Structure 1
Amino acid sequence: MTDVTLLSAHAAYRDDIGDLVTRRPVPGPGLEQIGAFLFLNHHGPQTYGANNRGLPFGPHPHRGFETVTFILEGSLAHTDSAGHESIIRAGGVQWMTAGRGIVHAEVSPAEFKRDGGPMEILQLWVNLPAALKMRAPRYVGLQADAFPALTTGEGATLHLVSGSFAGHAGPIESLTGVFLCWAELAPGATLTFDGLAGRDLFLYAVRGSVKVGDRALPNWHLASLSAGDTLTLHADEPTLILFGHAAPIDEPVVAHGPFVMNTVEEIRQAYADYQRGTFGVAEIVAG
């Protein structure tokens, strides 16, 4: 058994979208992706006043990958061209498989725009292998109470989204066996993950700072981790992390705008298909 070590920490760079505070650790300078994990936007934390414009993500297309959206604070209204519609609130998660093509909108519901409040959202893009890039779109949106909140006895609470941990299974079944969770660590807490050999590892410090061995991963930093079987995390302050692992996808990655495929020609075809209207239409949720 070998321990996973922290090789380097990559700061999220600030890239606000209008009045939406946005930090992006990947892709960024010197870091194109973390294996199957392609992209992370960290929106907030911030507080919106009353009569705000809300989130700016009106209808837009995707093909060839999955989006996993963690609503830490606030709420998010989703609608898409496959007919899915939901409003997910704090602690909930949306998992959307774009597959062969989907148009979706991610906006604030009417009550949030009217009343305002705190907002913090993470959106992670996860790659799909070529064999699944053109499958039918899929969407799962679940509220906070659907996710097991597992206390470790070492001062940590793990919110399990997909995969298994300590004999428990997450409520969302990943097409490719991706494990995803977010975890809260109290000062002095320890949290251990095992069975990681041969997996792509994704660790982001959302709040606070976490240690891997004797090296710290500060707030708003993404880890580059060594190969190994076991990852042990320790917190000296209140900390929230996003952690995942996935089987490597040993295929070319060609990403352009909202599409992630294997070749440039497939990207051109995605744009052509979208412009012809084959992805359908998504209406914005009213509230």
Structure 2
Amino acid sequence: MLKKILHILDARSKRITETETVLQPLPHRDFRFASPFIVLHHIAEQKITPGSARRIHPHPHRGFSPVTIMLQGEGFHKDNHGGSGVLKPGDAQWIFAGSGLLHSEGPTEELLKNGGSYALIQLWINSPANLKNEPPSYQLARKNEQPLIASGDGSLLRLISGQYEGLNGPLKSQTPLTIIYGELTPGKQQQLLAKPGYWTLLYLISGSLLISGEQIQAHQLIVFEQPNDELLIRSCTDSQFLYLSGEPIEEPVAAAGNFVMNTTQEIKQAEADYKAGKFGTLDF
């Protein structure tokens, strides 16, 4: 049966550093979390002029996984636990922050030097309490390593993480979830499946979709009811979207700054550990 829409959330502009602004539909004043999905940040297409200088300098994370999907241009990641990578369009990375790491990210030096387009999505995926203090790790999945769920006849669906219709995504998660990147041409109808009881979300990166009689516009996040198992979407224009579905982590969530823990005391401890230098150093 078809899932009903619970919320249509408009992304708002949010400044995350002095020089970096993103679109953020989650968390939202009308709907905070769909754990394991805690945050969705979208850097919509930006034009980088040749000779630019910008970078999100080393900053800490603990207790969750920042997951980045590159849409345009080139982005880099480097952390102080040995993880590093350069992402090109379609590539995705999964950084498990675990007990704590420092990392730096932003457009590559080549993109800054030569100029070009830059766009990405970053998700914050919660970790269950029993894994939040595990050692950090890093995964990188190239576009051509992501199985095609559909290709041709107006649909392109790539499986980034999780299981879907017998396929396995290359980025391994800690709890059951599915991340799919999709493109549809005008008039194309697409069925998507989800397990009943899971949180299921769809973020429209660009274009326009019709879902359950509702016209969905770019930069809107759809939160579906947990019962039932099917979505049916129709593209009104060329459209790009991100489909997310995951088993709920039924634990308290305390999220503040760069940390996702279970209690405010754990947040305070993470902040104190960072100030005390316990996250180490990263010269990058």
Gaps of 5+ in 2: none
Structure 1 Cα separation of the partners of residues 49 and 148 of structure 2: 31
Aligned partners of 1:154 and 1:190 also within 8 Å = no
> In the aligned structure 2, how far is the partner of 1:62 from the partner of 1:258?
5
Letter of the aligned partner of 1:208 in structure 2?
G
Write the distance in 2 (CA, Å) between the matches of 1:204 and 1:215. Answer: 14
- Separation in 2, partners of 1:114, 1:195: 43
Q: Letter of the aligned partner of 2:238 in structure 1?
A: P
Q: Which residue of 2 aligns with 1:146?
A: 145
Q: What is aligned with 2:32?
A: 32
Gaps of 5+ in 1: none
Write the distance in 1 (CA, Å) between the matches of 2:57 and 2:14: 18
Taking the aligned partners of 1:202 and 1:133, their CA distance within structure 2 comes to 24
Matched AA of 1:161: I
1:262 is aligned to 262
| CA drift at 1:280 | 1.9
Other-structure match for 1:89: 88
Residue by residue, what CA displacement relative to the aligned partner does 1:13-52 show, whole Å, maximum 9, x if unpaired?
Answer: 1225556452111122222122321111111211111001
Q: How many residues align?
A: 282
Structure 1 pair 66–230 and aligned structure 2 pair: CA distance change class (3 A): same
Match of 2:5 in 1: 6
TM-fit CA distance, 1:216? 2.1
Counterpart in 1 of 2:276?
276
Q: Distance in 2 between matches of 1:154 and 1:278?
A: 53
The match for 2:22 is 22
**Using a 3 Å threshold, how does the CA distance of structure 1 residues 195 and 243 change in structure 2: closer, same or farther?**
closer
Which residue identity is paired with 1:40? L
Instruction: Give the number of the structure with larger relative contact order, counting CA–CA contacts within 8 Å between residues 6 or more apart.
Output: 1
Paired position in structure 1 for 2:202? 203
- TM-superposed CA distance for 1:182, in Å, is 0.8
> What is the Cα deviation at residue 138 of structure 1?
1.1
In 2, the alpha carbon distance for the partners of 1:208 and 1:283 equals 40
Q: Distance in 1 between matches of 2:35 and 2:216?
A: 19
**Is the CA contact 2:61–2:100 (under 8 Å) kept in the aligned structure 1?**
yes
> Any conservation in 2 of the 1:21–1:45 contact (CA below 8 Å)?
no
Deviation string for 1:120-141 (max 9, x for gaps)?
A: 1111111111111111111112
Written as runs of structure 1 = structure 2, the 5 A alignment for 1:68-217 is 68-151=67-150, 155-217=154-216
Answer whether contact 2:73 2:119 (CA < 8 A) is retained. Answer: yes
Q: Which moved more, 1:136-145 or 1:250-259?
A: 136-145
- Equivalent pairs: percent with the same residue? 32
Scaled by the length of structure 1, the TM-score of the pair is 0.93
CA contact (8 A) 2:150 2:158 kept: no
Superposition RMSD on alpha carbons, in Å?
Answer: 1.6
Q: Is the 8 A contact 2:140 2:171 kept in 1?
A: no
Query: Per the alignment, do residues 191 and 6 of structure 1 end up closer, same or farther by CA in structure 2, a change over 3 Å counting?
Result: same
Deviation at 1:163, TM superposition (A): 1.3
Cα displacement string for residues 206-254 of structure 1 (whole angstroms, at most 9, x for unaligned residues): 0012222211221100112122211121112111001111111111111
